[in-house]
Amino acid sequence: MSIRKTFQQVSPEIRKNLVVIFLAGVLFWTSMASQLPTIPLYVRSIGGTPEQVGTVMGAFAIGLLTFRSWMGKFADQNGRRRVVQLGLLVAAIVPVFYAMLPPLPIMFGLRAIHGVCIAAFTTGVSALISDLAPPQHRGEIIGYMTLVNPLGLSLGPLLSIWIGAEYGYRGIFIAAAILAATGLAITIDLQEAESFLKAKMLDRINLAEQAAQNELSDRPGNIDRIDRLDRQLLPQISFWQLLSSDRVRIPTITLFMCGAMFGTLASFLPLLIEDRGLAMSAGLFYTVVALASFMSRLQVANTVDRYGRGLFITVGLICYALSMLCLFISSHSILVILAAIMQGAGSGIVLPTIIALLADRSTIKERGSVFGAAWIGFDLGIAAAGPVIGGLVRNVAINNAFSIAACLGIVAILLFATQSNHSLTDSFRFAIGRGKDKYAVPS
């Protein structure tokens, strides 16, 4: 189905919200991507070693890991809109401090704080889009809405090249702050999904009935007690129970492997290009990644609801692994461009499909918590890749970092093909598009 036909089938209010989310997403990811090729070079310019570059880049995930699950619970309790806006606020503030060109220890701390914006924005947006999208078109709408990521990844590096040539590192960081602040401004009228509000309304009715039965209305402090009851209406499952549950565990591990491959790329690609003396920039690489990701997400959006989630995740993981392999053996710019195409295809297929998979496997009351728990895998992969892989390749050629990442991609393929559903047979059939997801919650 075409984009136009799909969006004509939803209400004007939903269309308005989706447009606001899309525009805010483009601004957010352009802001983030403009800094992606800049920070490793800045760290090296002030004397940072490859291991220190990896540590600073990986520090970003400290904020992600610390706040991701909390953001999911907050989104379920207080709404997705506030979480989205918090992410944009942090994304607007932290680059201002980057613009002061701080030394390494301060840069490490700022990167950790900066990670909170991803924890908030991606968790809130994923849950809000999943709430807004009709179940029969969920994968398609998620696919279209995640086009903001490749758009931002293509615009951001080009912006950093242009502004960096004129104004240096400081100019790039100020521009990133302005972009995020603009995204925050346009979300003022963003609304929650009607289904989410109805669920909260039913909760409040239940609370009123329970309060009446317990005669809370005649007692001092009843508001505090109702707020405690409100929190009790959320699914009573601990973070670790949710993370280790059959429906969430394998998607989380898959995201960990993808995060580790992305973390390797973000930390060591600029260094690989410099060390190999290749006639290209990291900005060009990320632009190609974005274009490939854009095209693959369009294909996912058009077909994922028809062919199922499993096949697309398998194909995407293969692309991830091939990308890392191309970078490992890279001796010419053509191989690096091929790696960029594979990387873009991998991320463009896997990430929106896993969002749809997690939405299928969760109810609206717990959706924020499920996204918050599963995406910790991606965050942990990013956090571990820089320092761990950086330490392993400290005394060898930098391209060896990508051989390790390629192995992680292969492991991810094997795990998903054998453990993603109830049994080995069900998992394999699901992974090749021949079986249904046994963990999906009925619509």
DSSP letters spanning 301-326 = HHHHHHH-HHHHHHHHHHHHHHHHHH
How many degrees, rounded to 5, is the angle at CA 228 between CA 224 and CA 233?
145
Helix, strand or coil, per DSSP, at residue 286: helix
The b-or-e profile of 117-152 (16+ CB within 10 A means b, else e) is bbbbbbbbbbbbbbbbbeeebbbbbbbbbbbbbbbb
Q: Which residues have CB under 8 Å from 63's CB, separation 6+?
A: 112, 113, 114, 115, 116, 117, 118, 119
Q: Are 384 and 262 contacting, i.e. CB atoms less than 8 angstroms apart? A: no
How many degrees, rounded to 5, is the angle at CA 257 between CA 85 and CA 429?
105
- Among 25-29, 227-231, 372-376, the range with the most confident prediction by mean pLDDT is 25-29
What distance in Å separates the CA atoms of residue 299 and residue 129, rounded to the nearest whole number? 19
Q: Are 82 and 385 contacting, i.e. CB atoms less than 8 angstroms apart? A: no
Per-residue pLDDT, 183 = 95
Per-residue pLDDT, 217 = 46
Q: Are 144 and 291 contacting, i.e. CB atoms less than 8 angstroms apart? A: no
Copy the structure tokens of residue 333.
Answer: 């710019």
Per-residue pLDDT, 103 = 86
Lowest-pLDDT range, 55-69, 132-146, 221-235? 221-235
Per-residue pLDDT, 55 = 80
Structural domain boundaries, residue 167:
3-194+237-431
Per-residue pLDDT, 2 = 60
Per-residue pLDDT, 200 = 52
Q: Is residue 265 part of a domain?
A: yes
Work out the average pLDDT over 125-142. 85
Q: Is residue 213 part of a domain?
A: no
- Among 126-140, 346-360, 367-381, the range with the most confident prediction by mean pLDDT is 346-360
Q: Is residue 126 part of a domain?
A: yes
Q: Are 350 and 320 contacting, i.e. CB atoms less than 8 angstroms apart? A: yes
Copy the structure tokens of residue 394.
Answer: 């400290």
Kindly report the CATH number assigned to the domain that includes residue 29. Answer: 1.20.1250.20
- E-strand ranges in 163-315 read none
For the chain, give the mean pLDDT.
83
Per-residue pLDDT, 324 = 94
Per-residue pLDDT, 209 = 57
Q: Is residue 80 part of a domain?
A: yes
Per-residue pLDDT, 443 = 64
Q: Is the pLDDT of residue 225 over 70?
A: no
Q: Is residue 168 part of a domain?
A: yes
Q: Is residue 326 part of a domain?
A: yes
What distance in Å separates the CA atoms of residue 32 and residue 116, rounded to the nearest whole number? 12
Q: Is the pLDDT of residue 221 over 50?
A: no
Which pTM does this prediction carry? 0.76
Q: Is residue 14 part of a domain?
A: yes
Helix, strand or coil, per DSSP, at residue 278: coil
Nearest of 316, 308, 318, 346 to residue 430 by alpha carbon = 308
Helix-strand-coil percent breakdown of the chain, rounded to 5? 80, 0, 20
Radius of gyration of the chain (CA): 22
Taking each helix axis from N to C terminus, what angle separates 38-45 and 50-78, rounded to the nearest 10 degrees? Answer: 140
Copy the structure tokens of residue 186.
Answer: 């346009």
Q: Is residue 33 part of a domain?
A: yes
Per-residue pLDDT, 315 = 95
Work out the average pLDDT over 322-345. 91
pLDDT tens digits, residue range 261-271?
Answer: 988 888 888 88
Taking each helix axis from N to C terminus, what angle separates 80-98 and 50-78, rounded to the nearest 10 degrees? Answer: 150
Lowest-pLDDT range, 172-176, 351-355, 373-377? 373-377
% residues pLDDT > 70 (the chain): 89
Per-residue pLDDT, 93 = 95
The residue type at 310: G
What distance in Å separates the CA atoms of residue 96 and residue 78, rounded to the nearest whole number? 29
pLDDT tens digits, residue range 407-423?
Answer: 999 999 999 999 999 89
The structural domain count of the chain equals 1
Work out the average pLDDT over 281-289. 82
Band (pLDDT 50/70/90 cuts) for residue 301 is confident
Per-residue pLDDT, 231 = 46
